[in-house]
Amino acid sequence: MHESREPSLWRRSLRALAGSRTIPRTRWTARSPWRPTPGSLFSLLLGLTLFGLGDAFLLLADLGATPWTVLAQGLSIRTGLAIGWTTFAVSVVVLLLWIPLRQRPGLGTVLNIVVISIVLDLAYSWLPAPSGLPARLALVLVGIATIGLGSGFYLTAGHGPGPRDGWMTGVHHRTGRPVAQVRLVIEVVVLVAGWLLGGTVGVGTALFALLIGRAVALGLAVVRTVLPPA
C-alpha cells in the first residue's frame, strides 16, 4: 500500500504556524477578480467582516491608531485639511502607486471600502470598551490577529486587495520578498512618516506596525491549511 502524498493535518498545521511567504491559491480562489463564485464571494465577505471587526477592536482599545491613520492625522496637522480629506488623499496616492507595480483592482478593492466601513461602524457602536490597561492591550492583540486572519480570507478570494494591501501585494510580487517582511517595512515607514508630521503614536500603533505583517502571513497560512488547493 502506497502512502498518501497529501500532507497530514498535523504537518499542515505546523506549516501554518510558520506563516506564508506568499498569497496562496485555494480551492475557493476566483479565476477572475470581477467574477465571483459562491465560495470566493463567501471568503471575500468573511475576510472583510473579520478585518472590520479587528479595526473596531483596535479603536475600542484606545491605545493608538493604525500607522495609516497616524499618517493621515499628521498630514491633517500640516495642511489644515480635515482628517477625512487627508485619508482620502492618501488612498488616492496609494492607488496611483499601483500603476508602476502593475497591480489591478477587482471586486475586493471596491467591497474593501464598503464592507469594512459598515462592520467597523456597527462593531464600534455596539461593543463595550474594555477597562484597564491589561484588557486594552489584550484587545489590541486580538484585533491584530483578527485583521491578519481576515486578510488571509479576503486576499485568497482572488478578487483584488484594498488600496493599502494592494501596495503590499504589488511590492511582494515585484520583489519576491515575503509578505510579512514587505508589510512590516511599509507599516514602519508609514508610522515614522506620520509621527514626523505630528501624528499621535501609542503603544497600540507600535504593536500594530510590528506585528501586522506576521499576523497576515499567519492568516494566509491558516486559510491555506483550511482550504488547500484543489
Q: What is the pLDDT of residues 155-184, one digit of tens each?
A: 999 999 988 899 899 999 889 999 999 999
Q: What is the pLDDT of residue 57?
A: 92
Give the CB-side neighbour count of residue 24, counting CA atoms within 13 A. 24
What is the b/e burial string over 94-133, where b = at least 16 CB atoms within 10 angstroms of the residue's CB? bbeebeebebebbbbbebbeebbeebbeebbeeeeebeee
Mean pLDDT across 34-51: 95
Q: What is the pLDDT of residue 194?
A: 92
Q: How does residue 205 score in pLDDT terms, banded at 50, 70 and 90? A: very high
Q: Which residues contact 69 (CB under 8 A, 6 or more apart)?
A: 87, 194, 199
CA angle 178, 181, 186 (to 5 degrees): 125
Q: Kindly state the cell numbers that stand for 32.
A: 477572475
Helix axis angle, 203-226 to 133-155, nearest 10°? 40
Mean pLDDT in the chain? Answer: 88
CB 25 within 8 A of CB 229: yes
Taking each continuous run of H as one helix and of E as one strand, the counts in the chain are: 10, 0
Q: What is the pLDDT of residue 103?
A: 85
pLDDT of 73 higher than 90: no
Mean pLDDT across 128-138: 94
Q: What is the pLDDT of residue 2?
A: 46
Q: How far apart are CA 207 and CA 63, in angstroms?
A: 10
Scanning the structure block, which residue is given the C-alpha cell 484606545? 62
CB 153 within 8 A of CB 44: yes
Domain spans of the chain, in order of start: 35-226
Q: How far apart are CA 199 and CA 29, in angstroms?
A: 38
pLDDT of 9 higher than 60: no
Q: What is the pLDDT of residue 190?
A: 94
Q: How does residue 83 score in pLDDT terms, banded at 50, 70 and 90? A: confident
Mean pLDDT across 127-146: 95
Q: What is the pLDDT of residue 147?
A: 94
Q: Which residues contact 65 (CB under 8 A, 6 or more apart)?
A: 58, 59, 73, 199, 200, 202, 204, 205
